[in-house]
Amino acid sequence: MSRAAVLAGIGGWLPPRVVTNEDLARRFDTSDEWIRSRTGIGQRHVVDQGTSTGDLAFEAGARALKSAGVDEVDAVVVATTTPDHLSPATAPQVADRLGLGGRAAFDVAAVCTGFLYGLATATGLIASGTADSVLLIGAESFTTIVDPADRSTSAIFGDGAGAFVLRAGEPDELGAIGPFDLGSDGSLAELLMIPAGGSRQRSSGRPAAPGEEYFLMQGKQVYRHAVLRMTESAQRVLAKAGHGTDRIDRFVGHQANLRILDAVADRLGVPPERRISNIDRVGNTAAASIPLALADAAAAGELSPGDRVLASAFGGGLTWGSCLLRWPDITPA
Ligand code: COA
């Protein structure tokens, strides 16, 4: 029988500071009613000055290791849009702080699809025998790249981190991850982009224009592509598994926007009681959103061992992806 990656532990961490919709309405022309009705978001957690993605990743990673009851893994993967530095990657320092110095450590960049790309990568490391265990962390201090004057992105994004510990196991045991569907369309990169700061702008000899260092989003088009791509990707992964949504106990979509999540779930035929969402309390935490939503649901008793979980995500790139997993008997830390 082939080797599978099996979920052995889960943890999440949110920075303590909360910014409510009312707080945003004091900064610019918006309202709690506008934000809630368009996005389903009521508040988001925001890093304090001086706190970085690596700090959040460390907290979530430590909790996932505790949940798995281990203090050793062979590799640390951090999925993030907001690394501590352009170079080096964030994962080696996180690994070092967790007492995992010497292990393989690298970042995965697929924006809001980052956790599922990281999960596929970690699964591959285990399936190939390169690693027997992996700590995968999705972490973002996304508010550090949001233009504080942009009411559309300020309303949506928040900070946080969520992590999985994966170990080698059998494909038919609880916790087994897969199959996956992953895809991208780079021709639409400009729909979600930070125009300045990378080699494209630096090599041009042109200084960054005001605002180009921030994450720019073409909201309407993003909305349309998110619904289409997440739905199609979820359908493809179900086809790979050879069953329909009737066998799915829980659907967790990337927490982009509640209307997007509902539109995808409606198209897939997943009834409301099987949908997992914490977007009202945390907003869109990009690469952290799926593990954070699962950690919250597990802590609230909304996931039972044996549940068939469908996860689907969409993000900048454009990128998208989906995967299936059987929920194991674990307790989040
Ligand atoms: N409060 C009040 N008005 C706002 C606002 C806010 N927080 N954010 C945007 N608006 C305004 C816009 O400025 C625009 O005003 P204008 O007509 O005077 O220019 C108006 O609302 C309509 O903007 P539009 O973008 O057409 O609104 P929308 O109905 O599409 O809703 C989003 C905006 C951002 C909520 C919506 O496009 C969306 O959710 N998109 C997907 C975002 C997402 O999921 N991103 C992450 C992907 S991983």
Please give the backbone phi and psi of residue 31, each rounded to the nearest 5 degrees, phi first.
-150, 160
Distances from the Cα of 318 to the Cαs of 136, 140, 321, in angstroms?
A: 22, 18, 11
Known active-site residue 21:
no
Separation of CA 136 and ligand 1 centre (Å): 32
pLDDT at res. 1: 57
Maximum C-alpha span of the chain:
59
Separation of CA 168 and ligand 1 centre (Å): 43
Tokens of 122: 């970690």
Output the average pLDDT for the chain. 97
Which amino acid residue places its CA nearest to atom 42 of ligand 1? 219
What would the pLDDT profile of 163-209 be if each residue is shown by its tens digit?
999 999 999 999 999 999 999 999 999 999 999 999 999 999 999 99
Please compute the mean of the pLDDT values over residues 140-156 and round it to a whole number.
97
Please compute the mean of the pLDDT values over residues 296-301 and round it to a whole number.
96
What would the pLDDT profile of 72-117 be if each residue is shown by its tens digit?
999 999 999 999 999 999 999 999 999 999 999 999 999 999 999 9
Q: Give the C-alpha separation, 133 to 76, whole Å.
A: 9
- Answer whether residue 62 shows pLDDT above 90: yes
Known active-site residue 323:
no
Bond from prior residue into 88 cis (ω within 30 degrees of 0):
yes
Bond from prior residue into 136 cis (ω within 30 degrees of 0):
no
Known active-site residue 254:
yes
pTM of the shown model? 0.97
> What are the structural domains, with CATH classification, of the chain?
4-169 (3.40.47.10), 177-326 (3.40.47.10)
Please compute the mean of the pLDDT values over residues 244-251 and round it to a whole number.
95
Tokens of 131: 């690693």
- Answer whether residue 333 shows pLDDT above 90: no
Separation of CA 86 and ligand 1 centre (Å): 29
| CA-only gyration radius of the chain, Å | 19
